[in-house]
Structure 1
Amino acid sequence: MVIDAHAHCGIIDRSWPQSFEDYARQAAAADIGAVALFSPVPEIYDRHDRRFADTPAWRLRRRESNAYLLSLDPAELTVYPYFFIWNDFAVEQLSAAHCGIKWHRHAGEPIYQYDDPRCRSALDKIRLRRLPVVLEEEFDHTLRFIRDLANGITVIIPHLGMLNGGFRSIIAAGLWELENVWADTALASPGEVREYIRRFGHQRLMFGSDFPFGDPYSELQKIRSLKLDPAAEAEVLGGNFIRLQIGVSTDQRGGCGNQQGQSKGPLAGR
């Protein structure tokens, strides 16, 4: 089964065609059988206002956006919903169905309050649940998060570091060598994917499309065009994601994914 480890899906923000139906049509053409879904950024905070101040309306918007992903229970795909966390650090909203955390901002956008005690408490809860964190942050914040805050937490750097300071900056910092630091291939160049595998192996690398900004079919063909060893390709296209998710701790027998833990996919009944 091909698993897309990086896709955005929502219904509040209409700036892109990014509903689940939009994704499912593209996934079917690409032979993708499962997907990790994140809320779109505009459903979480106002990325265009550096002085963004949270409000009850935004907190409700975030709750509704994260809940939408939990509601998805399609017949054609296995859905692994990730919880998009913001500065209210509302980990009390985490359910057994959540399979990971999305932690995201770009330069010039509102910043995460890393010194807020609630941030440390949220990370403790994430660590206890063994939830992986997809971290898309500026380079200095990426270094601090991994070196100082995320001890015992698996951190996935998306796009092979393209928006976290760059692939080579992450190499120079020695982050790719750390056992708890993983990567996804979304929008990364074929050359960077080849170099990552040559230098660091394929065991912590996962296929991702970055839908709607990336096309799932094209992104999948990018990986297949590399002509990797079949076993390595199978791991990158799904096996590594499954291995990572098996470590997620939940309070329900069915594990994370699809409709309150009742996953129909490869983690069902584990």
Structure 2
Amino acid sequence: MIIDAHCHVWPDEIARKVLAGRPVGLDPVHDGTLDGLRRTMDAAGIGLAMTLAVANVARTVRRTNEFAGKVDRSRFIPFGTVHPGLSTEENLSSLRDNGIVGVKLHPLFQDLSFADAKVREILTALAEHGFPVIAHVGCGGDHTQNERGASKHLPSLVERIPGLRFIAAHFGGYHDLDAAEEWSVGADVHLETSWPPSVGTLPGERLRTIIRRHGADRVVYGSDWPMTDPATEIAAIRNLGLTSEEEAGVLGDNLARLLGIDEKGFA
């Protein structure tokens, strides 16, 4: 089963407003709604998708998690949000109350840095309570934003938090594959493959080397929907020249193992 680790979703009316502003300077390919994602998944042969909801400010954490928690769990795996402006217990309560499975962190849009003690405190609590985390790692914003999510912070961050299941988006270094290779590859994380506008723009031989150096069993496919087209991204993964076992792992088996999904799906 193909599982997409990286799909941003919003309520219908909010999706239109967010995407009209081209939030990361890219033209969206799809509409950012749950119905739109379901149609995209059906067309691309995707069985499950992690739906990511991010609150940029503390006051919207609870209603963002309320939205995330209502998704159809036969197709969607709800990843919600936390914010350093709330106490650790407030963050955990919002996740538990809404049945959230995991958390998305986004240093470009949230006022948080991988180097901050408060973020380490939150991640430690998430690890202790069994919440996996996916985070934007690398660039994509201005200097201050890029510094908050820089690859160089990643190894020391995860080393201090036993049991943390951490997925580093964009091969652990968006827009800076050199930094990803220096800091993220080989770290105690799962790497995720999205690279808008398409992972197909990167050299295939270099990606194949990165995947094998990190461990193909610790790499997961993600599209960064709606900013890319998942069918195109899946085709790019299949064109990397991986073995059939490696390819099956990246496209779904590795994430299923990380999240505890079996052949019956996700409950």
User: If the length of structure 2 is used for normalisation, what is the TM-score?
Assistant: 0.75
User: CA, structure 1 residues 227+116, in 2 after alignment: closer, same or farther (shift >3 Å)?
Assistant: closer
* Structure 2 contact 77–101 (Cα < 8 Å) conserved: yes
Structure with the higher helix share, 1 or 2:
2
- Residue 66 of structure 2 corresponds to which residue in structure 1? 67
* Structure 2 contact 152–179 (Cα < 8 Å) conserved: no
CA distance, structure 1, for counterparts of residue 115 and residue 223 of structure 2: 32
* Structure 2 contact 220–255 (Cα < 8 Å) conserved: yes
Equivalent of 2:191, from 163, 179, 183? 183
* Structure 2 contact 186–213 (Cα < 8 Å) conserved: no
Structure 2 residue identity aligned to 1:233: E
- Residue 169 of structure 1 corresponds to which residue in structure 2? 179
User: CA, structure 1 residues 3+113, in 2 after alignment: closer, same or farther (shift >3 Å)?
Assistant: closer
* Structure 1 contact 146–155 (Cα < 8 Å) conserved: no
CA distance, structure 1, for counterparts of residue 34 and residue 76 of structure 2: 10
Q: Which has the higher contact order (CA 8 A, sep 6+)?
A: 1
| 2:39 matches 1:31 | no
Offset of residue 86 of structure 1: 1.9
Percent sequence identity over aligned pairs = 26
CA distance, structure 1, for counterparts of residue 133 and residue 235 of structure 2: 26
Offset of residue 63 of structure 1: 2.0
- Residue 221 of structure 2 corresponds to which residue in structure 1? 207
- Residue 87 of structure 1 corresponds to which residue in structure 2? 84
Deviations, residues 24-68 of structure 1 (Å, cap 9, x unaligned)? 1111110000001101x5xx22xxxxxxxx5xxx61x33222221
User: CA, structure 1 residues 63+110, in 2 after alignment: closer, same or farther (shift >3 Å)?
Assistant: closer
Offset of residue 105 of structure 1: 2.0
- Residue 7 of structure 1 corresponds to which residue in structure 2? 7
CA distance, structure 1, for counterparts of residue 116 and residue 209 of structure 2: 38
* Structure 2 contact 8–225 (Cα < 8 Å) conserved: yes
CA distance, structure 2, for counterparts of residue 25 and residue 85 of structure 1: 28
Offset of residue 209 of structure 1: 0.7
Aligned length: 231
Offset of residue 122 of structure 1: 2.3
User: CA, structure 1 residues 139+161, in 2 after alignment: closer, same or farther (shift >3 Å)?
Assistant: farther
User: CA, structure 1 residues 70+227, in 2 after alignment: closer, same or farther (shift >3 Å)?
Assistant: same
1:72-151 aligned at under 5 Å gives the runs 72-73=71-72, 77-89=74-86, 90-95=91-96, 97-106=99-108, 111-112=111-112, 119-137=119-137, 138=146, 141=149, 142-148=151-157, 150-151=160-161
Offset of residue 78 of structure 1: 2.2
RMSD of equivalent CA atoms: 2.8
CA distance, structure 2, for counterparts of residue 73 and residue 2 of structure 1: 17
CA distance, structure 1, for counterparts of residue 154 and residue 75 of structure 2: 30
Offset of residue 100 of structure 1: 1.8
CA distance, structure 2, for counterparts of residue 92 and residue 115 of structure 1: 24
CA distance, structure 1, for counterparts of residue 35 and residue 241 of structure 2: 31
CA distance, structure 2, for counterparts of residue 190 and residue 34 of structure 1: 28
Q: Unmatched 5+ residue regions in structure 2?
A: 20-30, 138-145
User: If the length of structure 1 is used for normalisation, what is the TM-score?
Assistant: 0.74
